[in-house]
Amino acid sequence: MGKIVVTEFISLDGVIESPGPVGDYQHAGWTFEIDRGDEGNQFKVDELTEAEAQLLGRVTYEGFAAAWPGREGMDEFTGKMNSMPKYVFSNTLATAEWNNTTILSGDLATEVEQLKRNVEGVILVAGSTQLVRGLLVAGLVDELRLMVFPVLLGSGKRLFADDTGKTALQLTEAKTVGDGVEILTYRPMKG
């Protein structure tokens, strides 16, 4: 049975929009302004290495698909990004050209429950704000990993929406890396 692991770069005020230097956003690339250190970098490598597949929303998929294939052969991380199975949930995307990508559409809960039955191990979800919100509402997130950067952005798309509802979480791991970046791992409390 697969395990949905959501991983996010997030500001102290909950913004996850455009952590990389891509797009026409006010704070694009904000994570590049704060050093997450060797330990933080290794955390991201280990996280991807552990994953069997990725599940992405359409917007994140399109951004990744535009960036990663052009980096082929650069390093182990890039190789894994390009070769691993990828699933994009979208009711509007007609084709997916990035290597090893399957489009899922229809009812989110039904599709993701089926994916969890078909994939053994970690199914990593990065970015994908709308998708993550839907997964949280449906109770399908098994683990939430937040790399919290010590910055207030004041504006931008936030991870948690008003309709997320009450979700009790248990902190299972916390560590500080780089210049005060916190890596917090949570699991939803069942019951």
**Residues 143 and 28 sit within 8 Å (Cβ to Cβ):** no
The pLDDT profile of the chain, 191 residues, written as one tens digit per residue, is 999 999 999 999 999 998 987 777 888 899 999 999 999 999 999 999 999 999 999 999 998 998 888 776 668 888 899 999 999 999 999 999 999 999 999 999 999 999 999 999 999 999 999 999 999 999 999 999 999 999 999 999 999 877 777 889 999 999 999 999 999 999 998 75
Residues 6+ apart with CB under 8 A from 71: 78, 82
Residues 6+ apart with CB under 8 A from 33: 151
Residue 101 has a pLDDT of 97
Residue 26 has a pLDDT of 85
pTM value?
A: 0.94
